[in-house]
Chains A and B, each alone.
Chain A
């Protein structure tokens, strides 16, 4: 954005080599744009038979029956929304608190290694989360966390019913782990960018350091922090492999968080190569299109919010 007028003059591409260079650069960019537009077009084309056959009721019908070719996306939308909600509630609390600590309280010898470890959490491959979730977290949910929750909160429908280990809650917890680094890293950057004056003014008025961090700095950074959470939500919505391994893969809507469920992404992962009829394939691609549109909207919102605090710097 900082290209000055004097540069615009010298940047004229006049010699033949320069013109060829400009053409190649244009060509690469056009190819890049075409790839992204092609992605959208192909998803729409692929789901067209399903859109024609089921119409808008695809979104709120709850049957998913390959044998009678009767498809509705509601159970997967429900599973995706529920796991993502559990994830964002857990990750927002832990992530924002961790960011407050790292931005305002951590001495350098503690803050740097903690930040580093939390950021590495983002680098762990999805399939490794899934493996850990399937063999460590799911059994632990079945034998320890689940019964404990049920003992205390069993009268709430959310915590009723048999505990399989795999299910909505396990999927949500795994997702929470995966998105905590996003919330923490961006929130910390936004918090650090809040002017010192604000902190000093608050301390000068007699606030404790904690009151300053929670009542002055955090509210001042709220748009950016909220943006970080929305961005993390976008990641959670589209996450596939780890969730597929711990969600139980059953297209049912159940009140209990312990019940097995399904998400938009995991049904595609499980059934796409086994889809025998073309309408089945098309219905799966339509699920992908829904996922694409939702995560695009969520991401656009998040980026808009984070930019508005960080200025022109892009996430």
Chain B
């Protein structure tokens, strides 16, 4: 395993780039580990990395049923931000952004964090008030937030629809300048390489079929590559959390929904920031390859299919054109979907489960990517110490029973409306 640096690039370049060592090993599973993490996406790999780095727990395996990062880590629209308003969320996502800011250095892997700013455009005085309140909560917590009127936004984002015929006239926008985008695959690969370097076994094409029990304690997993015992089994499979939990007889406040995302043909730099449309659920940014990355609403029904339908394609593109009319001339290049854990309050679940030996990190709704570093860090802490990290302490499973929902959207117990 070599350290990536300008010197190493030069050296390997001179050797014809034929001698780069593997970024991570491909070991056969051992019969047992201290911790088995189910799910080789960003969150699972980050958890393994921090278990090793922060807590010295290295006898760890990450089991991935498909290929590393092929789930939602590979399917999201790459947005990183910390503009959450509810206590329990605010500090957690800010921790995550602060970790993002040093992540490439920490991992010795370029995650391509681009803190290009996140504009949330609003279209009525009431919507502006709600955003202003959110901005004030952020600032009270030491998080950057700014507010601009229409005239200022027209200068900064001239390509939006400011005409008299705009469907939802633009009143102004909220900005978090430290927010932005990152390369989703790189995060998975960076954490994988970092975890592997510390001795974690990453085992792909290894699906968990069930659990190994000793009376009512989970002591391992049955997999397509044989049984693997573990003192602690930790699930990080958001999208399929209910599916894995049900194998342990655990039912959760989660519905799995499908979320589509889109990329246009590449074009020269046009959208220099992440822009959120306040007139509908729609977001847009530009990737380094030049394509515009678009996303919007859920299709709206339970699905594990990871493919969506044309009604949402139409709805998302209508929002795109309403926000930026010039987009109507572009062609859509690629389109895909993921399966997301929609919870009954739109907020995640991290913690020890009421089944001995089982830990869970899931319920990320459509906002898991930005949480990757903090999720891994807090989940590792929780597993290692047996108690939640202060920043993720509110993400309990029991909060629904106790009336402590973290309802950021204020939509109530309707997963499809979060």
Partners in one complex: no
